[in-house]
């Protein structure tokens, strides 16, 4: 069996033994892992399980819901309802917060999650995932929306599951980022990737390049320089990846470095970006920063953003610290007008900004 490797439960007991809140947090993370196992089993069945395809419904984002979106959402809600540890939850698939009747034990946590991220990939059998964030619940009263709107630095735990060739559960409780692999034969998550670290440098970037003409100049500048490789200021060639499942792209970056970008774009000026702060950008930023990386909007650290709405969208630049800091520098130079790069005739000739 797994010589010298520990299980998720034993690992959490070790990491979270300082207080009753920490013990309850360990129990909640085990509950979340149980929901992940159920979702892993559902996704693995594919068409044989009748789980593919879309429903006639749309979610609060106006996106058509996949069957597995709703099935995964239900798996999490049922787990929280039975666990007695969660007082309320917010999910991509639910317009409003959902109160959980804690029965005898008052739930001391709030759960915020994207039950199935990358669901547009599910019908073509490409890796998808679940993303979660755990916040502290108010004491002695029912949770309200305002209780969820806390800055990302106050997350008690965050992580994701990736349903790929293997199912992995990656989490942080603020003591590093650690990866567990599901042993399907016994149904246990085994610690296979302790203390994950994001390389500070990279030669790989992830972005949906079809949006290039809609990006702000600093993002265009960064991507042009990467594509120009050895012939430009970077002095080396870069590779590009885009899986269109944030979980899969971020997991690759956690494993081998890289930078993930979903910037604001002018395609829909009313949206600050595509990804949501509370259940995508914040949890992924905590995971990556606990592994030595950085999560930014390009202009500010994601974990410092004061949320205004549960489904708020933000621009996202997450990954290898030195690359994210370079992109932040380009945004600062652009905003402050301190870099002739954006005005020099040479750049204008070559740049994408030429009218
Ligand atoms: P879906 O869950 O609707 O597939 O969206 C996935 C996602 O939120 C994120 O996981 C991807 O990185 C991003 O959208 C992909 O967006 P594009 O489809 O515009 O490339």
Q: Which whole-number Å values give the CA distances from 188 to 35, 159, 166, in the listed order?
A: 13, 17, 13
CA 164 / ligand 1 centre spacing (Å): 16
Number of Cβ within a 10 Å radius of residue 204: 19
CA 244 / ligand 1 centre spacing (Å): 5
Contact between 289 and 346 under an 8 Å Cβ cutoff? The reply is: no
Q: Which whole-number Å values give the CA distances from 338 to 117, 329, 335, 344, in the listed order?
A: 39, 11, 8, 12
Give the orientation angle of helix 217-228 with respect to helix 321-336, to 10 degrees: 130
110 lines ligand 1 (CB under 6 A): no
pLDDT of 280: 98
Q: Which CATH architecture has domain 204-350?
A: 3-Layer(aba) Sandwich (3.40)
Which of 118, 128, 242, 268 to probe ligand 1 with, by most ligand atoms within 8 A of CB?
118
Q: Which whole-number Å values give the CA distances from 166 to 41, 98, 238, in the listed order?
A: 11, 31, 28
164-214 confidence digits (pLDDT tens):
999 999 999 999 999 999 999 999 999 999 999 999 999 999 999 999 999
Quote the pTM value. Answer: 0.94
226-281 confidence digits (pLDDT tens):
999 999 999 999 999 999 999 999 999 999 999 999 999 998 888 889 999 999 99
Q: Considering Cα of 83, then 89, then 94, then 100, what sign does the dihedral take?
A: positive
Q: Which CATH architecture has domain 3-193?
A: 2-Layer Sandwich (3.30)
Structure token pair of residue 283: 């949890």
- What does the alpha-carbon distance between residue 312 and residue 67 come to, in Å, rounded to a whole number? 24
113-146 confidence digits (pLDDT tens):
999 999 999 999 999 999 999 999 999 899 999 9
- What does the alpha-carbon distance between residue 112 and residue 131 come to, in Å, rounded to a whole number? 8
The closest of 288, 312, 70 to 160, measured between CA atoms, is: 288
Residue that has been written with the tokens 């209780």 in this structure: 147
Q: Where are the domains of the chain?
A: 3-193, 204-350
CA 274 / ligand 1 centre spacing (Å): 8
């Amino acid at each position: 069996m797994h010589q010298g490797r520990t299980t998720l439960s034993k690992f959490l007991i070790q990491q979270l033994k300082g207080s009753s809140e920490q013990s309850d947090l360990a129990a909640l993370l085990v509950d979340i892992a149980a929901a992940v196992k159920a979702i892993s089993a559902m996704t693995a069945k594919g068409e044989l399980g009748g789980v593919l395809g879309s429903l006639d419904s749309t979610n609060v984002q106006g996106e058509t819901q996949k069957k597995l979106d709703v099935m995964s959402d239900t798996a999490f809600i049922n787990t929280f309802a039975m666990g007695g540890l969660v007082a309320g939850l917010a999910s991509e698939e639910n317009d409003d917060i959902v109160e959980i009747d804690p029965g005898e034990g008052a739930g001391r946590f709030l759960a915020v999650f994207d039950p199935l991220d990358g669901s547009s990939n599910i019908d073509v059998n490409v890796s998808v995932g679940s993303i979660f964030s755990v916040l502290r619940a108010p004491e002695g009263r029912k949770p309200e929306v305002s209780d969820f709107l806390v800055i990302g630095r106050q997350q008690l735990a965050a992580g994701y599951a990736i349903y790929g060739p293997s199912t992995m559960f990656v989490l942080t409780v603020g003591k590093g980022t650690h990866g567990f692999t599901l042993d399907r034969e016994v149904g246990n998550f085994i610690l296979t990737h302790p203390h994950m670290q994001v390389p500070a440098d990279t030669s790989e970037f992830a972005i949906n390049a079809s949006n290039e003409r809609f990006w702000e100049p600093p993002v265009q500048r960064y991507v042009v320089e990467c594509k120009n490789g050895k012939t430009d200021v970077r002095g080396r060639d870069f590779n590009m990846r885009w899986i269109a499942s944030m979980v899969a792209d971020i997991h690759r970056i956690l494993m081998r470095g890289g930078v993930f970008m979903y910037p604001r774009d002018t395609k829909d000026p009313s949206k600050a970006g595509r990804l949501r702060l509370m259940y995508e950008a914040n949890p992924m930023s905590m995971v990556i920063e606990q592994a030595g990386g950085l999560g930014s909007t390009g202009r500010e650290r994601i974990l410092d953003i004061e949320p205004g709405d549960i489904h708020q969208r933000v621009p996202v630049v997450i990954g290898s610290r030195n690359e994210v800091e370079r992109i932040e520098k380009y945004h600062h130079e652009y905003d402050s007008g301190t870099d002739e790069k954006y005005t020099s005739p040479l750049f204008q000739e070559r740049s994408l900004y030429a009218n």
